[in-house]
Amino acid sequence: MIDAISNIYCFPMLLSVTNVILVYYLFSSIYLCYSEGALNLLENVSIPAVITFGDSYLDQGNNNYINTIVKANFHPYGKDFVDGKPTGRFTDGKSLADFFVNALGVKEYLPAYLDPLIQDQDLKTGVSFASGGSGYDPITPTITSVIPLSSQLEMFKQYIGKLNKIVGEDATENILTKSVYLISASTNDFFISYSTVPVRRVQYDVPTYNKMLVQLAVNFVKEIHKLGARKIAVLSGPPVGCLPVQRTLSGGVLRKCVDNDNNAVQLFNDMLKQQLKFLESNLLQSRVAFVDFYNPLMSIIENPHQYGLEVTDKGCCGTGAIEVLFLCNKLSLTCHDDSKFLFWDSIHLSEKGCIIFVNQVLPDLVNSLF
């Protein structure tokens, strides 16, 4: 892209400054929206590792090694991954975590911490502690029988101990303070605990539940900060009411987005953004970024053709209306071209959806953390 822009000045007729800016904007927009690989905006910054916590959007296969039905280590999951291998990533190929770690210049794939084949080098450059089906609300992972954030925090402490043995305490401190931490953990709280299995809806109204979730999110950020994290990015809630499965369950005959769910998430996001900004001002030498998971996805859902997509109301697996986890299995037919689908199954983004989203939010993420 840089070469293309520099060649502008070789045209026989000198372009005006305004035209140069317009051409640069055009090239940048095209590259941002349609690049097959994630943008890398870091030229003079070295990030030793990326570490993730939370749910299935960042789970790289930890659930393979626990007793739960919330798994994705079977076909057709992973059909577009290396050798068509299902790894436990909740998509057809690379995940959000993979694209983030690649775009930040660390490595191509982020491994699951519980993977028994994990190597020392993997630990030095980051791992995922996330567990599909988890959430900020402790009742959420209880319902789904997955790894709660409290246990992910304990795994992180174990990880720090292993790093100390591998590289020493000084090098470990350097890795921890310069690494990027990603957290995504609110989706299941809204989709499962407040909607599908509405145990929380009978206890709390929306504002009260959101206040509780935000406080839990802030507390978790504080906990990893105590352990050395200094560059922390928290994903907001996505438009849960527009997930294909939620359209099917609660969107009526026309499968419309569910406004009540989306409104609840938007209120949470507003509260979370405000509290993270306040928290950042009170954590010395730290950056805490709010990553908007809602508006970029809504833009893609409402304007699919602008992003090279065709289908945003169904997943690629099966009918696309309900299939997720074990309902999306080796007996399920899949769409002809998953690169035209925002969603892989009825909840999770396709590989193409992941890269489009990462490229949408990456510039703001980098600006917020560096």
pLDDT at residue number 44: 72
Specify the residue for token string 């709660």. Answer: 148
The pTM assigned to this predicted structure is 0.89
Distances (CA, A) of 174 to 181, 229, 288, 367: 14, 10, 18, 21
Distance CA 364, CA 362 (A): 6
Enter the tokens of residue 284: 């010395």
pLDDT the model gives residue 38: 62
Q: Higher-confidence residue: 345 or 27?
A: 345
Determine the pLDDT at residue 37: 63
pLDDT tier at 45, thresholds 50, 70, 90? confident
- Compute the average pLDDT of residues 135-156: 98
pLDDT tens-place string over residues 51-92:
999 999 999 999 999 999 999 999 999 999 999 999 999 999
Contact 363, 292 (CB under 8 A): no
User: How high is the pLDDT of residue 323?
Assistant: 98
pLDDT, mean of residues 94-121: 97
Give the residue from 131, 142, 164, 163 showing the smallest Cα distance to 52. Answer: 131
What is the per-residue pLDDT across 20-33, written as a single tens digit (0 to 9) for each? Answer: 333 334 334 433 44
CA distance linking residue 82 with residue 87, whole number of Å: 10
68 within 8 A of 326, measured Cβ to Cβ: no
How far, rounded to the nearest angstrom, does the alpha carbon of residue 228 sit from its chain's CA centroid?
A: 22
Give the residues across from 182 on adjacent strands: 52, 233
pLDDT(356) > 60: yes
How does residue 36 score in pLDDT terms, banded at 50, 70 and 90? low
User: Mean of the pLDDT values across residues 47-53?
Assistant: 98
Burial label, 351 (beta-carbon count in 10 A; 0-12, 13-18, 19+): buried
Q: Give the C-alpha separation, 337 to 320, whole Å.
A: 13
- Cα separation of 339 and 157, whole Å? 38
H or E element at residue 50 = strand 50-54
Round to whole Å and give the CA distance between 25 and 150.
44
Provide the pLDDT for residue 262: 98
Residue 212, pLDDT > 80, answer yes
Residues marked active site are found at: 56, 345, 348
Q: Quick one: average pLDDT of 7-22?
A: 37
Where is average pLDDT lowest: 30-44, 124-138, 229-243? 30-44
pLDDT of residue 284: 87
